[in-house]
Amino acid sequence: MLFRTLTAAEALDLSDDDIEIDTSELGNFTDAGEIGPWAEEALAYLVSEGVLEGHTNGSLAPRDSTTRAEMASMLDEYLQYIDFSN
């Protein structure tokens, strides 16, 4: 959902063949193999834009539920990303 919001806010059309999101950066996370293929582009985009940083243990935990604190942190990063807040 956050990925869709970011891409819509930037008018980024992912159906355009000219746009490619580099998913290789996901390999830096210890649990990269657990990321579903359908989520790779979204997670790679959020990581590359600094909205999603992962956990201190080097994982993204893609199969875990997102806590309220994690979502609040991502929303804060997103608001800073769009220059909405400091």
Alpha-carbon distance 53 to 73, whole Å? 10
pTM (2 decimals)? Answer: 0.69
Q: How far separated are the first and last CA of the chain, in Å rounded?
A: 23
Position 3 pLDDT exceeds 80: no
Per the prediction, the chain carries an average pLDDT of: 81
Q: What is the pLDDT of residues 5-21, one digit of tens each?
A: 555 555 555 555 556 78
Q: What is the pLDDT of residues 20-53, one digit of tens each?
A: 788 999 999 999 999 999 899 889 988 988 888 8
